[in-house]
Structure 1
Amino acid sequence: MKSFAALTLFNRTTLAAAGSALALAALTLPAAASAAVVPPGVTLAAKQELVRNNGSEVETLDPALVESVGAANLGRDLFEGLTVTNGDGVVVPGVAEKWEQKDSTTWIFHLRKNARWSNGQNVTANDIVYGCQRFIDPKTASSYGNVYGPFLLNGADIVAGKKPASALGVRAIDAYTLEVRTSGPVPFLPELMSNPNLGPVHRATVEKFGKDWTKPGNIVTNGPFQLKDWQVNSKLVLTKNPNYWDKDHVQLTQVTYLPVEDENTDVKLFQSGDNDMTYQLPTGSYAKYRQQFPNDTRNSLVLGTRYYSFNNRDPLLKDVRVRKALSMVIDRDLLAQRVTADGQVPMYGLMPKGVSGADVSNYEWASWPMEKRVAEAKKLLEQAGVKPGTKLRFAMNTSDYNKKMAIFAASEWKTKLGLATDIESMEFKVLLKKRHDSDYQIARNGWVADYNDATTFLQLVQCKSTQNDNFNCSPKADALIQQASETVDQAKRKQLLTEAAKLVMEDYPMLPLLQYGLPRLVKSYVGGYSLKNPMDHYGSKDLYIVKH
């Protein structure tokens, strides 16, 4: 989502090798590295207020329950974890001013003593402990609990109800020193701890207000911004947190998030001056808007995948031959070049280009001529007893972008296989619930990495993962992932995770389509929007308004 001339993917290396038996040097960076850095010669506007579209109404502001990209965007603005990722996507100190790795499974984080909650109280190690324990505790019912839990010592057993939350491998050595113990080597732990789910939570506020603790007037945050107003399905307004430790480097005084799902409406708001930063351009419109707004168009690939979930429990789709046939006939090149037409690239596997910890693998038939692919797909459907005219059900969240992609897929299935498709559109929150409840047949889905490692994508297909909306299960692949989590040999780990991804995808649990690109319009006066952010984590603290 950068300058229109650049369509690039930036890869990063992990902070340290997992197998290092030596303690790593403590990491310390200047405070300014974790907030907006205004280049010399740039004059700031007197009014530092930003309006940005978030793509949909968020499901929550509770860090433990954050699941969507939109909620995570707000989570990073309102809360700050031990670490953060800056505008370039690089891990830098957050609440922790430095840290060191004692051995392959033990990390020590040193908290800065000037970190404050929005009510002025100090942020302490116990706030991190409480936030992590609450997140992992099955009583909280976080859909991410069994995603991140297994990385932390005893986390998997806590999620399974076998141990209490207090057994989690996160403990306060003193008020400003935290020990984090992992279940195995986790070389990307500093990056993992930048996610809102694993950050601090103000315990007294949660206990006082219960489920209403995130409402305006109740919520206490420790990030660069605080909640001023939340009008559901209208707007969510944040203001600069005067007690934030690095407030002097936060330029914006107010950020308004819009929940606009329709991309055309999003663009109209941009054109009228009511929106400074769109969420995503409509399908097929990138070239048009690049010409119309040459100084405002941003685009880049990110570590993410657009895919369709197959409900592996569905009477029709439980047959792998049907799932394979549906995947084979989708012309991803045509989809990328003619439908989305915004620089995204076809995917035929689980891993996007640029991810650390595994190699990209493709289906063998991806290089076949389409005629051969269609012939094989028809043969598979015939063997499965699926006749032409069979009707498919497709669920998606309301969006012109999603609609055009769905219509394309339905056309492919109709013209090449003789299958009809009913497309149902709904709010994003409704789609989330349908996917989690297995109340669908085929559903629009997508995933942008939480951290740069193959395991974030493997969560989508692991047997017991709450992010596995396909409801597939490959015990052999899970065993390979477990082996990888126990080794300190990085080459061996990569081999195991690559093998696991390839093995599970041979069962066609999902239909990979495109590597995510998020073309958008950003007003030229919005500074700090980097060309090097591989996970689209644009925190508002990294942005500023240039005089115009």
Structure 2
Amino acid sequence: MNSHWTMKTLAGAVLLACAGLAAAATVPAGVKLHETQELVRNNGSEPETLDAALASGVPANNIIRDMFEGLTAADANGKIVPGVAESWKQADAHTWVFKLRKNAKWSNGDAVTAEDFVYSLRRFVDPATASKYAATYGIFLLNAKEIIEGKKPVTEVGVKAVDPYTLEIKTPFPVSFLPEVVSNPQLAPLHKATIEKFGKDWTKPANMVSNGAFTLKDWLVNSKITLAKSPTYWDAKNVQLNKITYLSVEDGNADVKLYESGENDWVYQLPPGTFDKYKAQYPKEIRNTDMLGLRYYSLNNADPVLKDIRVRQALSMAIDRDILAQRVTADGQTPAYGVIVKGTAGADVTAYDWAKWPMDKRVAEAKKLMAAAGVAPGTKIKFSYNTSDYHKKMAIFAASEWKTKLGLDVELEAMEFKVLIKKRTDKDYQMARNGWVADYNDATTFLTLVQCDSDQNYHNSCNRKASALIDEGNQSLDPAKRKALLTQAAKMIMDDYPMIPLLQYTVPRLVKPYVGGYSTTNALDRYRAKDLYIIKH
């Protein structure tokens, strides 16, 4: 997905205690608020679920982040701030202790306690839950890997309620950035009694009990989701918005039309090629932020055509990422040739040697590779993507590159986002559009896309030597050694061509000038409604 800032060296016990004051919407002096504190923002597509443990797409996580608060949270600038935990410390190399605030409440008035986190984290790693993120975050919880594989009971996960307001988390290796990891919605507490009473229906508006700044008011499938300010939220007095509406508009042009007609305050993402036009038209409303995120195409490495590494390499070599960035998306994104993007802590960016070659030399080599692999011109390949002008334009460009340079016949297949997610998860595809926004600022968030046994690796690919290097790096207390090992692993994996890196994300959008609290330094593109407010206009 879909962070964050400094990796601290462990010297004995590293203390990362924070003040119990969590920043909410900070309204600058002199700013007058609108009498109606309501925000409408487009969310790009219909969320596949509102169950935090099952969410994998960015649209679902955006909404869940407003309804459920974890131990920590990321503020508008991407800085980690207290959530339900008011302070935390690393007691030893493998132990973190979180002190919970005593005024945190569920929307039904129940107190939020350490046991709620124990329940939700056990449920999260339980194989019966079948979370697509269990292994992604489970690697940071002691015994979670074995639990996910069915080798240990869920009660063995390294999470313990020391007392009602103290939670202890044990990690299998030193994780200096755990406060960033636990800011993710998948690790938020869930209300046990509600889930046990309603089963799968617990996420319906009439049933849901949440602990965040907002509650679920209404859910019109494929249209909009409405949230209302929660009166029981511990920091309710500092929450300005009373209502937030999430639209599920996939068409970028329709999104902009709603914005221009005043029915939408926040465009999800501008259609490709329109950035300069709207920048000139709405100079004070354009927003564009560099992100810790990677656009890439997934390749099914077990597919009869794609199982040959030479074919996968040729497909990657043939795409001119400079033209893609400058003329097709044309919104400030930069070409990417590896799984790690610029600005990521814990590993260096790697790139292929051929990335610097002139295109005619690249094409000549790619043709040789295809011929050696026995793939003749006219060979058909199916490419799956989710319905959106943005992804369609990129897909048409890529298909044209493969057709004109390699003679391949690419069939483009558009579908709803949740259908694409299922196709990728089931590994029921040949090639598929994909993208990843960091969940925390460390190389492991990107390596999860290509690592052996990861639930985010949809490629049927595995390099055991590289995975061993990642494990060795994670066990190291020396940041320089860890970085070298993770960089080496990333390069080794990308030399197998499991996927095609394309661009490092930016998020070009229009946001009304009266939406206060929006930051352009948020590299994870996470905005909590509690940090936002509507200025008088």
Q: What TM-score do you get using the length of structure 2 for normalisation? A: 0.99
Separation (CA, whole Å) in 1 of partners of 2:207 and 2:405: 56
Structure 2: where are the runs of 5+ without partners? none
Give 1:305-316 correspondences, 5 Å limit: 305-316=294-305
* Cα offset, 1:23, TM superposition: 4.2
Give 2:391's match in structure 1, choosing from 368, 386, 402. 402
How much does 1:11 deviate? 7.3
Match of 2:312 among 323, 341, 344: 323
For residues 358-412 of structure 1, the C-alpha deviation after alignment (integer angstroms, 9 at most, x for no partner) is 0001000000000100000000001001111111110000000000000000111
* Equivalent residue pairs, number: 535
Whether 2:358 is the aligned partner of 1:369: answer yes
Task: Determine the structure 2 residue equivalent to 1:272.
Answer: 261
> Alpha-carbon deviation of 1:124?
0.3
Q: 2:230 aligns with which of 232, 238, 241?
A: 241
Give the corresponding residue for 1:12. 5
Instruction: Write the deviation string for residues 190-216 of structure 1: whole angstroms up to 9, x where unpaired.
Output: 010011111111000000001100101
Q: Of 221, 228, 235, which aligns to 2:217?
A: 228
SS in 1 for 2:489: helix
How far apart in 1 are the matches of 2:132 and 2:17?
33
Q: Report the alpha carbon displacement of residue 22 of structure 1 after superposing the two structures with TM.
A: 2.5
The letter for the 2-side match of 1:196 is P
Partner Cα distance (2:358, 2:375) in 1: 23
1:149 maps to which residue?
Answer: 138
Alignment of 1:122-137 (within 5 A): 122-137=111-126
> Counterpart in 1 of 2:18?
27
The alignment status of 1:485 with 2:474, answered yes or no, reads yes
User: Does the Cα contact within 8 Å between 1:20 and 1:103 map onto a contact in 2?
Assistant: no
Deviation at 1:25, TM superposition (A): 5.1
One-letter identity of the residue aligned with 2:150: G
SS of 2:203 mapped into structure 1: coil
Kept in 2, the 8 Å contact 1:320–1:507? The answer is yes
1:183 to 172, 180, 184: 172
In structure 2, distance between residues paired with 1:187 and 1:25: 10
Matched, 1:209 2:202: no
Question: What is the Cα deviation at residue 12 of structure 1?
Answer: 2.4
Counterparts of residues 357-396 of structure 1 (less than 5 Å): 357-396=346-385
CA distance, structure 2, for counterparts of residue 26 and residue 339 of structure 1:
46
Letter in 1 for 2:413: E
CA distance in 2, matches of 1:312, 1:20: 42
Give the match for residue 6 of structure 1. none
- SS of the equivalent of 1:342 reads coil
Task: Give the residue type in structure 2 aligned to 1:179.
Answer: E
Tell me which of 45, 48, 66 is aligned to 1:56: 45
User: 1:100 is matched with which residue: 89, 93, 99?
Assistant: 89
1:473 is displaced (CA, Å) by: 0.7
**Partner AA of 2:278 in structure 1:** Y
* Distance change in 2, residues 1:162/1:11 (3 Å): closer
SS of 1:138's equivalent in the other structure is coil
Please give the alpha-carbon distance, in whole angstroms, between the structure 2 residues aligned to 1:29 and 1:167.
Answer: 30
Is the 2:515–2:534 Cα contact (8 Å) retained in structure 1?
yes
Q: SS of 2:139's equivalent?
A: helix
* Mapped partners of 2:258, 2:335: distance in 1: 31
How far is 1:30 from its partner?
2.2
Answer yes or no: is the 8 Å Cα contact 2:4–2:440 preserved in 1.
no
The answer as to whether partners of 1:11 and 1:354 remain within 8 angstroms in 2 is no
- Aligned with 1:468 (options 433, 439, 457): 457
Tell me what 2:68 maps to: 79
- Structure 2 counterpart of 1:434: 423
> How is 1:32-47 mapped onto 2 (pairs within 5 angstroms)?
33=23, 35-47=24-36
The code of the aligned residue for 2:334 comes to V
Following TM superposition, where does structure 1 have runs of at least 4 consecutive aligned residues deviating by more than 4 angstroms?
A: none
Q: 1:161 aligns with which of 150, 154, 165?
A: 150
Shift of 1:439: 1.3
Contact 2:37 2:242 in 1 (8 A): yes
- Could you tell me how far 1:29 is from its partner in structure 2? 4.7
CA distance in structure 1 between the aligned counterparts of 2:315 and 2:185, rounded to whole angstroms: 37
Report the CA distance between 1:431 and its aligned residue: 0.5
Percent identity of the aligned residues? 63
1:24-75, Cα deviation, whole Å (9 max, x unpaired): 15222523x2x11111111110000000011110011111101010111111
Instruction: Confirm or deny: 8 A CA contact 1:29 1:92 kept in the other structure.
Output: no
1:356 & 1:470 partners in 2: Cα distance? Answer: 25
Map of 1:336-351 to 2, 5 A cutoff? Answer: 336-351=325-340
Report the equivalent of 2:99: 110
Task: Give the distance between the partners of 1:246 and 1:315, measured in 2 at CA.
Answer: 55
Q: What letter corresponds to residue 152 of structure 1 in structure 2?
A: L
Query: In 1, Cα distance between the equivalents of 2:160 and 2:13?
Result: 22
Aligned residue for 2:53, secondary structure, equals helix
SS at match of 1:21: coil
Q: Is the 8 A contact 1:56 1:259 kept in 2?
A: yes
Q: For residues 251-270 of structure 1, what are the structure 2 equivalents within 5 Å? A: 251-270=240-259
* AA at the equivalent of 1:362: A
Q: Does the residue aligned with 1:184 lie in a helix, a strand or coil?
A: coil
1:522 matched residue in structure 2: 511
> What SS does the corresponding residue of 2:160 show, helix, strand or coil?
strand
- Contact 2:16–2:87 at 8 Å: present in 1 too? no
